[in-house]
Structure 1
Amino acid sequence: MSRRGWVLFALMSVLWGIPYLMIKVAVEGVSVPVLVFARTGLGAVLLLPFALRAGGFGMLRRHWRWLAVFSLLEILGPWALLSDAERELSSSMTGLLIAAVPIVGVLVARLTGDAERLGPARWAGLLLGLAGVAVLAAPHLDGGSAWSIGEVMLVVLGYSTAPLIAARKLADLPNLPLTTVCLTFAALVYLPPAVVTWPDTMPSGRVLAALAGLGAICTALAFMLFLELIREVGTSRAMVFTYVNPAVAVVAGVILLSEPLTSTIVVSFALILCGSVLATARQPATKANLTDAPPVGALPADAPPADAQHADALPR
Structure 2
Amino acid sequence: MGENNTKWLYLGILSVIWGSSFILIKKGLVGLTDYQLGSLRIVLTSIFLFSVGFKSITQIKKRHWKWVAISGFISSFFPPFLFAMAQNEIDSAVASMLNSIVPIMTLLVGVLLFGIGSSKYQIAGVVIGLAGTFMLIFAGAEFNPNQNYWYSLFIVAATVGYAFNVNIIKKHLNDISALAVTTGNFVIIFLPALIMLYFTGFFETIFSSSEMQLSFVYVAILSLFGTALAKVIFNKLVQIASPVFASSVTYTMPIVAVLWGLIDGEVFNVWQAVAAMVILFGVYLGNRKRANR
TM-score when normalising by structure 2: 0.88
**Residue in 2 aligned with 1:154?**
157
Query: Is 1:164–2:167 an aligned residue pair?
Result: yes
Contact 2:11–2:246 (CA under 8 A) maintained in structure 1: yes
Structure 2 equivalent of residue 191 of structure 1 = 194
* RMSD after superposition: 2.3
Partners in 2 of 1:273 and 1:147 — Cα distance?
Answer: 21
Q: CA deviation at 1:231?
A: 2.1
| Cα pair 1:103 1:129 within 8 Å, conserved | yes
Which of 280, 287, 291 in structure 2 is aligned with 1:280? 287
CA–CA distance in structure 1, aligned partners of residues 134 and 54 of structure 2: 45
Are 1:48 and 2:50 matched, yes or no? yes
Would you say 1:250 and 2:258 are equivalent positions?
A: yes
Deviation per CA, 1:97-137: give whole Å up to 9, x if none: 11111112211111013352422x33332222122111111
Q: 2:245 aligns with which of 199, 219, 237?
A: 237
Q: Distance in 2 between matches of 1:36 and 1:276?
A: 27
How far apart, in 2, do the equivalents of 1:14 and 1:127 lie? Answer: 29
Task: Give SS of 2:183's match.
Answer: helix
Provide the rounded CA distance (Å) in 2 between the counterparts of 1:135 and 1:77.
Answer: 25
Aligned residue identity for 2:249: F
- Aligned-pair identity (%): 25
SS in 1 for 2:30: coil
Structure 1, unaligned runs of 5 or more: 286-301, 303-316
The aligned amino acid for 1:170 is L
- Is contact 1:31–1:194 with CA below 8 Å preserved after alignment? no
CA contact (8 A) 1:31 1:198 kept: no
Superposed, which structure 2 residues align to 1:1-316 within 5 Å?
A: 2-52=4-54, 55-119=56-120, 121-139=121-139, 140=141, 145-199=148-202, 200=205, 201-204=208-211, 205-255=213-263, 257-282=264-289
Report the secondary structure of 1:18's partner residue: helix
Mapped partners of 1:99, 1:22: distance in 2: 17
Quote the Cα distance in structure 2 between the aligned partners of 1:224 and 1:87: 30
Scaled by the length of structure 1, what TM-score is found?
A: 0.82
| Runs of 4+ more than 4 Å apart | 141-144
Moved more, 79-88 or 150-159: 150-159
- Determine if contact 1:74/1:158 at 8 Å carries over to the other structure: yes
Q: Which runs of 5+ in 2 are unaligned?
A: none
Q: Confirm or deny: 8 A CA contact 2:43 2:194 kept in the other structure.
A: no
Report Cα offsets for 1:30-78 as digits up to 9, x if no partner: 123322232222222223343246x352424431111111111101111
Other-structure match for 1:291: none
Query: Mean Cα displacement is larger for which, 41-50 or 101-110?
Result: 41-50
Counterparts of 1:52 and 1:191, CA distance in 2: 18
More helix as a share of residues: 2
**1:43–1:124 distance in 2 versus 1, CA, 3 Å:** same
Q: How many residues align?
A: 283
For residue 239 of structure 1, report the CA deviation from its aligned partner.
1.9
